[in-house]
Amino acid sequence: MKHLLTFSLLLTLILHTVSALADRDDPHFNKAQLAIKNKNFQQAELILSDHLIHDPEDRAAHFLLARVFSWQNKWTQALEQFDKLLRTQPDSADLLLARANTLEWMGQRKQALVDLARARELSPDYSEIWRTEIIILQRDNTPASRSKAISLTKEARQKFPANDWDNLIVVEKKLINERNRYAAEFIYGYDKLTNNRSPWLTRTVKLSRVTPDKHYTHLQLDSIERFDLEDWQLGGSYALPISQSWNFYTAATYSPTHQVLANRMLDTNLSKSFKNGTTLSGGVSNARYNETSSQQIHLGAEHYWSVFRIAYTYRRINVLNAGTGVNHNIQSNYFYSPVDMIGVSAATGKDVEFDGTANPPISDVRTYSIYGYHMFKPQWSFIYSVFYHHQGDFYNRNGFVLGIKFDF
């Protein structure tokens, strides 16, 4: 179930709101409703858009169009319709409830809860508002939100005794826990090097799983060509929440060929999240190569607000027979929908490029990249990045990564 409520429940809400907004028998309007019932949202969008050209003041059609946009992940268009309606009906609890659902799907949970609190104040006898607010508070998964959800459930039990409020939290938890998410990724990377060096090639197959309680597991197989040497490796990782705000992550790789890649590598990381959207993390990793080894520590901080993220990572690596390098990386991301993102990053400092020798080069580095992912149809996403990397006097690398991701 991708959205907050089941489709049938939302459709009931829509028809209830449409009845409140308008009372008429319009063949175009009825065709749009039929298309919605059949989940043919594209057709409904075309019918409603054409209808509004001839009748731009039709509030019920604007409302239906907003919902249709939401179900197609066209968040900006959906909010434009809701905002237009709320400018003329600022005290409509139905509109606030519908917009709250869209905001929740967008990941703007705090704003959704603001709309729901206002809607509940305007229509205290509208049980569906209470139910939606309780569910979203649970999904916020913070002590304050859970406490408020329990408090609202107690009030709702007294106010609406005919409803099954006692099992609401249990039922919602069951629905969430039954929904694991899996993904398969196929990735190809190409790097062009200066100083007459051969290009690098990377091919990756990756499988991952995320559980609703944020346990993450992944396995991947890499085939790599660097410095005219070929390697392959098997890798994986596991992340789990060890408390409400603490998370532990570990990753490992193994390469039986290890001409350039590490024969084996182990990375561990511990992070702490705060209510204001900030996360602090720290970890260590160790890698063993043919003729050398490395140890590194990394410290990081990231902050999320609205649809943006900014992150900083400090990394210090010590390589046997090469020396020590320190570098800094900063990233900025824009999430233009819950399933689409674009980001930029920049790194500078000193780092090592392992080339299969006992004395890998350590030098000044600079790296700039643009990366992201975009869902172009349900379940299918496009993964991409382009970058520039400067490795002292040894070479520059210009490259790209292209991939496809399938969610199931």
Q: What is the DSSP letter of 74?
A: -
pLDDT at 34: 79
Please list the residue range(s) of the chain that carry CATH number 1.25.40.10. 7-177
Reported as a single tens digit per residue, the pLDDT across 47-99 is 888 888 888 888 888 888 888 888 888 888 889 899 989 999 999 999 999 99
Reported as a single tens digit per residue, the pLDDT across 293-335 is 999 999 999 998 877 899 999 999 999 988 899 999 999 999 8
pLDDT at 9: 46
Q: Smallest Cα–Cα separation from 129: which of 103, 152, 158, 162?
A: 152
Is the pLDDT score of 220 beyond 60? yes
Question: pLDDT class for 402, splitting at 50, 70, 90?
Answer: very high
Cα–Cα distance measured from residue 136 to residue 408, given in angstroms and rounded to the nearest whole number? 24
Which architecture, in CATH terms, is 181-407?
Beta Barrel (2.40)
Reported as a single tens digit per residue, the pLDDT across 177-216 is 445 688 999 999 999 999 999 999 999 999 999 887 678 9
Q: What is the DSSP letter of 4?
A: S
Weakest-pLDDT range from 12-16, 29-33, 94-98, 123-127: 12-16
Q: What is the DSSP letter of 198?
A: P
Please give the helix or strand (H or E) that residue 18 lies within, else none.
Answer: helix 7-21
Please check whether the domain covering 7-177 is classified as CATH 1.25.40.10: yes
The three-state secondary structure class of 34 is: helix
Cα–Cα distance measured from residue 308 to residue 84, given in angstroms and rounded to the nearest whole number? 25
Question: pLDDT class for 168, splitting at 50, 70, 90?
Answer: low
Cα–Cα distance measured from residue 247 to residue 272, given in angstroms and rounded to the nearest whole number? 7
Question: pLDDT class for 24, splitting at 50, 70, 90?
Answer: very low
Cα–Cα distance measured from residue 201 to residue 399, given in angstroms and rounded to the nearest whole number? 10
Please give the helix or strand (H or E) that residue 80 lies within, else none.
Answer: helix 75-88
Entry pTM: 0.60
Cα–Cα distance measured from residue 128 to residue 113, given in angstroms and rounded to the nearest whole number? 14
Question: pLDDT class for 262, splitting at 50, 70, 90?
Answer: very high
Contact 222, 204 (CB under 8 A): yes
Is the pLDDT score of 1 beyond 50? no
The three-state secondary structure class of 147 is: helix
Please list the residue range(s) of the chain that carry CATH number 2.40.160.10. 181-407
